[in-house]
Structure 1
């Protein structure tokens, strides 16, 4: 859902009769909707049933895809992208259902694969979407997404049991509205700051709103009996450090997503571009998705033998090594394929470890909410990284034709920042208490004795 419109971005102004600034909302709307939905849907899943919320999320995705397939102007397309973004909670919900239902011996590899699919979908979705966009009417992209969503919903309805683990209680509407407002203000400022100006009144106003509303929301959550986010649990050292590592790691990941496509697509006349079409970009990034999937069982195996903290540290170090390679290997297509594969391997390792760290430190009744918050932290890190990389590449340019293009130095600075962020994530992960390195298996086994007598 995140990558399905990327091949269309350059053509959207012409297709929809609008401006590039306005059509950019087709990307931004999904980001904002996902940020709002992820923690809310996670909490609702813990309270009223994870399978129920999983089906509701998939229904929203199908509805958004159908609306997008029928769109001929900007407003309905943005509305469609909002609906698609509201389905972003499916990954943490799926991981939480696994915790409740799977045997202990299968849990590690299953959750590692489910978590890695966050990266797999993007890496494989881009080339698939590009091929469809180049060979068929652009509406076909949304019809295919609707069909996939409907198939997923049918399989969930047929094969996935409803978890008996529910917290019940009353939904924290004030907390949900407060957190959603904070996230929208933060992500709008981050994603639109370059376009609006970082010192513009609108950007500064949004940042000020975050600084005022976030502490107020925190006080409410601490005082209410049934909060949307249990800040006392979130503040526990293992959970807090895992979420911090996830945010920093999310920051590091976006360098690959931003640098490689631009390097591949810039004209060869720039001296550092490779002049390739979008379809080649997708094919270069696709192997990283396959590697992420292949690394899921490896991640689970390392977690079983050495603990998820070790797996997370190893994954972040592999990503840093991939960026180190990218600093010197960026002049040939095969070099970028190699780099993307190495980075994909690190992402697969790290993504597989994060759910195990979270689940080993939170009560079983808060699994979905805690996993959703962890997913949200990765997304926030990626969004901030996008803004930082955009500023760097807009400042370090070389003249070419009617407009300047990012320079080789600019790309190397972004890559170096990505490597540094990956190393910082490794340092944070290393601080997670050794006593909490055990996999979630012990917690799951204990929960299983309660939920499966």
Structure 2
């Protein structure tokens, strides 16, 4: 357990804190998704080529994957509010540089700086667990987790209109304003963590973690471009295969591990992380390929020939369903348990992708199926986060939820790479994929989603022993929930 810090000052109302946290998560989520649909515009504006412009996405992916667990762990040690301000500052500075970037190289660097903001989600979960009344935690975690998926959908909707009305630079100006406001608000209103983990930051294991993640994700993300059997890709996979066990061994032997391997072996944690990997394959792949599917010209016999803006609007019901599911997930988890919600979300994902596989010839079918997927994403996202947060000691909330988010990202990268290869396995004379490419890709997602539901059914539900931090929050808990002062150990 972490060291206790006596908290005597009056703490900000948790509802104010929640508004600030949601603003931070939403701004990070928008930066994740708004750039994707306008890469051709950026390619033309900055006079570069398709292979180079994809690094605008790759740099962000690599940076976020590295910094999400590291920032979460640093927050556990030095203070979550302090690190939340740091992540908002990184997003603000990165957005400013990106908006003003004169060359593609500067833009890629700016996107790497923005990736530091990946730590906002684990920090948010940690602050919620520190500051919120116990009965409000699951709902708040569910809503903030769903916001990440919602932002992905909203970004697809906004990208086209923003670029058409203003320019692609405003895809960075608008989130910059949000992160600046969120950073100032966090510094003023979000109370500092009453819970700290003692010990130093293990730089060596942080570097090993970064190295194997970059090697794996770079190989996966560039495999389709460089060739899966190319020396560069195979070399990266071999490097990842060597560095991953080296990192695990180093963490296990460390007196001050960055990621506690004992915590990672908690049955609930590792099984939910496996679900996260499988779920990430489906969810992030849908975000990437559904707009592309909708925008395929109707002369192909299966596409709908809609514009970037229209494809975003068609997916808006999916985004709304995700948000609604995130809001109600807390109540559902309270009544049926977070495990049941996770199983339901994963199973609904399999049903939705099966629908897309069998029936995608009319727009109403696609909208209905993607709306069901949105509901599934919101339920599963929230349930995964709640299960992990509940299963670990309070002092490890940040790093545990950061690793869970990171594993979803790895799943998304793997899914995107695999589906890109499946979709482009058959190409028409005009260079567009044949319909069977999408059908087969949706079929792959049916299998991964069904497997996620199966694994979710075997997730053991445990709750870590918690302890009450002295101060006003403890008084609130003692007054309203005296029976919950110390939850039973698993």
TM-score category by the smaller chain? over 0.9
Residue 14 (structure 1) aligned with residue 41 (structure 2): no
Residue 144 (structure 1) aligned with residue 166 (structure 2): no
- Quote the Cα distance in structure 2 between the aligned partners of 1:244 and 1:397: 33
Provide the residue aligned with 2:321 in structure 1. Answer: 291
Residue 410 (structure 1) aligned with residue 437 (structure 2): yes
For the residue of structure 2 that corresponds to 1:199, the secondary structure is coil
Deviation per residue, 1:152-210 (Å, 9 max, x gap) = 11222233211110113100100100000100000000000011111111001101101
On the 8 A contact 1:186/1:206 being kept in 2, the answer is yes
Residue 394 (structure 1) aligned with residue 421 (structure 2): no
Provide the residue aligned with 1:323 in structure 2. Answer: 353
Alignment counterpart, residue 358 of structure 1, candidates 375, 383, 388? 388
Q: Which runs of 4+ in 1 moved over 6 A?
A: none
For residues 11-90 of structure 1, the aligned pairs below 5 Å read 11-90=41-120
Residue 425 (structure 1) aligned with residue 452 (structure 2): yes
For residues 51-450 of structure 1, the aligned pairs below 5 Å read 51-400=81-430, 403=431, 405-433=432-460, 435-436=461-462, 446-447=467-468
Provide the residue aligned with 2:3 in structure 1. Answer: none
Unaligned runs of 5+ in 1: none
On the 8 A contact 1:175/1:228 being kept in 2, the answer is yes
For the residue of structure 2 that corresponds to 1:398, the secondary structure is coil
For the residue of structure 1 that corresponds to 2:304, the secondary structure is coil
On the 8 A contact 1:7/1:133 being kept in 2, the answer is no
For the residue of structure 2 that corresponds to 1:87, the secondary structure is helix
Deviation at 1:448? Answer: 5.3
Deviation per residue, 1:91-118 (Å, 9 max, x gap) = 1110110001100121111110011111
Deviation per residue, 1:238-295 (Å, 9 max, x gap) = 1110111111111121342233212211111111111111001111122212211111
On the 8 A contact 2:195/2:469 being kept in 1, the answer is no
On the 8 A contact 1:359/1:443 being kept in 2, the answer is no
On the 8 A contact 1:57/1:90 being kept in 2, the answer is yes
- Quote the Cα distance in structure 2 between the aligned partners of 1:80 and 1:259: 25
- Quote the Cα distance in structure 1 between the aligned partners of 2:403 and 2:52: 30
Deviation at 1:359? Answer: 1.8
For the residue of structure 1 that corresponds to 2:391, the secondary structure is coil
Deviation at 1:398? Answer: 2.6
Change (3 A) 1:226 1:413: same
- Quote the Cα distance in structure 2 between the aligned partners of 1:50 and 1:290: 30
Deviation at 1:129? Answer: 2.0
Provide the residue aligned with 2:478 in structure 1. Answer: none
Count of residues paired in the alignment: 444
For the residue of structure 1 that corresponds to 2:455, the secondary structure is helix
Unaligned runs of 5+ in 2: 1-30, 476-490
Deviation at 1:399? Answer: 2.5
On the 8 A contact 2:349/2:449 being kept in 1, the answer is yes
On the 8 A contact 1:62/1:150 being kept in 2, the answer is yes
- Quote the Cα distance in structure 2 between the aligned partners of 1:296 and 1:128: 21
RMSD after superposition = 1.5
For the residue of structure 2 that corresponds to 1:395, the secondary structure is coil
